[in-house]
Structure 1
Amino acid sequence: MVKKIYLITILLFTFAVKAQVGIGTNTPNASAALDVTSTNHGMLIPRMTQAQKLAIASPATGLLIYQTDNASGFWFYNGVAWMPFSGGNSWNLLGNLGTNPTTNKLGTTDNQSLVLRANNIETSRILANGNVGIGTTTPNAKLHVVGNSVFNYSQNFTSIATGNITTGTGNNPYVINNNSGCVAADSWQVTNTGSTYQCTGCTGNYALIDYGSSTCNQNAIMVIKLGAIGISSVNISFSYLYEEYNATDQFVVTLYNETTSSVVATLLSLNSNADTTFSNNYTVIPGNSYSLRFQYTGTYAAGASVDNVIVSGGNSVFTLQDGNQAANRVLISDANGNGTWADIASLGATDDDWRFASGSTTNDPIYRTGFVQVGNNKEPFQLLEVEEPNNLGQDTQFGFGNTEYFQDVQSEQSISHHVVPINNNSISLGSAANRWYDVYASNGTINTSDARDKENIKNLEYGTKELMLLNPVSYQWKKEQFGNTVVPEKDKLHKIGFIAQELQKVLPETVQNYEWKEINTTYQKVKMPRLGVNYAEIIPVVVKTIQEQESKLSKIEAQQLEIQKILNELAK
């Protein structure tokens, strides 16, 4: 017994000194703490059920067991959770043999999503409910694709009228910071005629700043509004020519963030001659609005031109190439749901971007952004413009219902039927700020005066006394204007009437100093910027004065008759 204990002690001491154990070999590998060597036996590690595995208290990282039930196989603890070895059920990088589609699968067996990654970045995900998401972690459809939007903007100035560029609308260019006093040619303008400063790439209409005076230096900025950009980077390209006169001249092009009012990048900063095409990529903040600014600063003897401005970027989230793809094609399907590209013209359809076939409530209206031209294909100047196609500006009609219509008669508008307010005694024609100059009528104006509509009726107290306090005057308006034509002093008409402020002290009822205006869907009493006079309401005062004078005259006539009678008696 003592010998056995001694032998075990010697062995343990040997193991501790060498820190290596060899089973089946006297020379364990130097890299192994335990080296088991055999040609006819294996090494058996602890075997247990899943419940027994999970019952191990505080398992050490790297602890290895063989699970005998459920997902049987080798399992190890990674310091956080138990993980299975793939063993013989793994999918190999070079493919697998002997698979059975009814039992072999790629995916999850619990209520968890399957995530696919590339470069350690998630590219797609399949939820437990079967929804597939590409570019989104929360797909809400069987196939839900989210990706970068595409941004495309081009400006070749063909849609802009030739002449000086002033303030534009939409994405039209506009000019700021022009030198005051410069002649027209010293501002950015759109032209299609040849110029010394026309760039090689400028064709058709293009933007130009050219000398126009021997004394006026140029300093003008042309701003091209790009609008909101929904992607993170864009490519900017344009054709340009710049010719300098001296070292103080400069042509600078910048990408400007309109949302943050800051310069993103300087694209060009030239003080030497150039005639070429610019192209480069720039990072932007998705959702912010941007513009391109072309600033020319120079002497009168030089110039610059710009054309073919293109800003584009982004990737399509969906591409189908079936051999029928082309610009402006539509995707159609057959009865089985097979999709193909088709030319809309081949379907017998026309461009009806006004159609809206979903519903009729105010939540889904028919609408169109931008300008709308009806009856003609020339460029509109109003949001909605209606013109007769064959005789521009003449007899154009815009109808309401079956019979009523407005008609354009050169510089006037006529209407086919009566014009009445939608509510009785509540709508005004004109206002204190916007007055009618003349009102023509063949039968005069008629004011409703039915006693059934009135209350608190009293005899008028005004009369001769008040009428004698009135101060009739003649006058001229300070400003008379018809459209853009201002009437010169010599042609102004002389008017007669009253001064509202004076009349208000005597007959306040005839002077209007407030009006009712619709504010936030309700009408409110608002002080008028100018006083108004209701001349018709002065008539009752005149009538009352005449009545008083007539009564006095009747008394005087009666008195005169009495006096005449007395005189006749005395004469007998």
Structure 2
Amino acid sequence: MKKILILLSFVIVISVKAQVGINTTIPTATLHVVGTTTLPSGGGTVNLLNQNFDAAYAVTHSSNTTSGCASPATVNGWERTTTGNANANCTTCTGGWLFIYSDESGCDQNSTASINFTSAPTSTTVTISFDYRYNYFTGSAESFRAYLWNNTTNAIVGANLVGVLSSDANTSFSGTRTVVAGNSYSLRFEYLGTFDYGASIDNVLVTETSAPTGGSYSFRLEDGTQASGKVMTSDANGNGYWATPTGGSGTDSQTLSLVGSTLSISNGNSVTLPSGSGSYTFTNGLTLTGSTARLGGTLTQGTALNLDNYDLTFSSNTAAAFPGQIIYQGTNRVIMDTDFSNNYINFGTDAFIDSDDGTTFVDTGSTTFTKDFVAGFDSGGSGGTAIAMGSIEYFVDGTNELFFEGSGFNPMSDETSSFGNTLGKSNRRWGAVYATNGVITTSDMNLKTNVKPLSYGLNELLKLNTITYNWKNYKLGNTSIPVEKQEKKIGFSAQQLLEVLPEVVQTHSWIPANENGDYKQIKNKHLGVNYSDIIPVTVKAIQEQQTQIEDLKKEIAELKALVKALQK
């Protein structure tokens, strides 16, 4: 009898409570499950370090020693820059990058930049990549290397990522290294330079592949109907099971239908579209007539065509498709007029084809060519037309000859410095210059200052070694000229002149730093000699020698008079 009463009490409690809780003592539903679901992870690439230096960046040096460096570009060791120097910037350096420079006489740099991983590795293998450039100039103390450093054990990991370089390199590194999970690491870039060019680093990336992890769930029902993408449903009696969602493949497809002006959605609502017909004018150059949309209206706002990787092509299958021009025309002038019949583009209202078009001329090789004009430029007046081009301008011609017709070829401004408006550079030299009346160099005393008598003369001239020579790797275009067919050259050694007459040797050049008129000085890869500056030394030497001759003549005359007196 006692057992029956206990069972009856249990049934009464369940019927009253009617709620079961799992992992909770206060269920709020008939079946209340409490738990945390963690979805599984399939692993993948994890960034341990991703630094492109485009934002502000404070460099950490594991060592940094400089001496004899004065200019701002050389006194800080490694630093973030957005300009750098053309002799040290890597080809792929953009936005910002890490940079070091020692191109200054007497400047010594011994600096190592340390870049810590932002996360410790959780696996035993990491992948490392970065872009770099090292430009070696001369000497034996200059070098560059990159390596992986274990901050936990204070030791280098494996071999150098980039071995000790003593020659110019402008490339990238990509490779893997074995590491200890949980240890702290850094990439280190070491530069040693004495009056050297410099180095740069950009796009530093260190990654690892994380291991996949399983999931944990608060609810699981295995009834034989379970499968990926299914949802729980029930029959008419409330029996639950897993089923594929309506529409299949985990998606619920809907059908759109249009009847008259009513747009209907299956299993949903309908939308009534506005009715009517005729011409609808859309903004910004689009016009709809009936069911046909046409391009050709007035633009009502600024418009850009973003082509990205695609081309904008005007094409036709008939030769008469473009009998006239495509014209870009402003209020008072034509901006651009494309004349397809003459393969010609006009910029400006009066930029017409010159009457010389179609006439012939003869080049220096006695070959006849036809002038074919392809572009005209005009500012609307008789003078002042200007053509603005990019930072580095160049003209390319099939025969490598550029002809100029006019009474003068002049720079825009009068140049008073030695390195301003120049024809050629130390590494862009002309092979020969031909002139009828020689080369005139300005020598007006009204333009000179700090004028002093020349200290060089016969003594320095006697120290000079005169030489004959031929050029190495002498080429005309793609043709290599052998030594036996070259003209023998005579001259001096620039290295020896640098010791005797350093003023006549050009070791550095001033080049444009930007398009604002600023210049910067760079070291020449090859030494140049201003031969005309040797003339004053030669004149001074002749003058000194003439003084010696006059003294000797006077002394000889005195000796002759003495001999005659003794003979008497």
Q: TM-score range by the shorter chain?
A: 0.3 to 0.5
- Report the TM-score, using the length of structure 1 for normalisation: 0.34
Higher relative contact order (CA 8 A, sep 6+): 2
- Structure having the higher Rg: 1
- Report the TM-score, using the length of structure 2 for normalisation: 0.35
